[in-house]
């Protein structure tokens, strides 16, 4: 993973921040399980499992908190 995939936390809107939080939550999984094939199979399973969907949602929430602070909460 030598490509640059995260050059800034600054994004124009809260919604962009949310999208970035989703991206970061997935990257955390990708770095631990780099195989696209295995992740694809695993994804098919957890998409049907509410406990895991909620756990993913929790990870997104923590990243969003970081990104929101970085952007000074898009206050003005």
Binding site for a copy of itself (CB under 8 A): 4-10, 13-15, 18, 22, 24-25, 27-29, 31-33, 38, 42-43, 45-66, 68-70, 73-75
Instruction: Tell the smallest beta-carbon distance from residue 69 to a copy of itself (Å).
Output: 7
Instruction: Tell the smallest beta-carbon distance from residue 56 to a copy of itself (Å).
Output: 5
First to last CA, the chain: 36
Residue 54: both structure tokens together: 């909620």
Other C-beta atoms within 10 Å of 60: how many?
19
CB closer to a copy of itself, 36 vs 45: 45
Q: State whether the Cα torsion 31-32-36-40 is positive or negative.
A: negative
CB closer to a copy of itself, 8 vs 36: 8
Residue 23: both structure tokens together: 């991206």
Q: How far apart are CA 26 and CA 14, in angstroms?
A: 19
Instruction: Tell the smallest beta-carbon distance from residue 17 to a copy of itself (Å).
Output: 8
């Amino acid at each position: 993973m030598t490509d640059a995939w995260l050059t800034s936390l600054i994004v124009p809107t809260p919604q962009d921040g949310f999208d970035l939080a989703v991206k970061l939550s997935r990257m955390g999984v990708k770095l631990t399980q780099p195989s696209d094939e295995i992740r694809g199979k695993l994804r098919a399973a957890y998409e049907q499992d509410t406990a895991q969907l909620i756990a993913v949602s929790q990870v997104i929430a923590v990243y969003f908190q970081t990104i929101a602070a970085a952007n000074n909460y898009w206050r003005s």
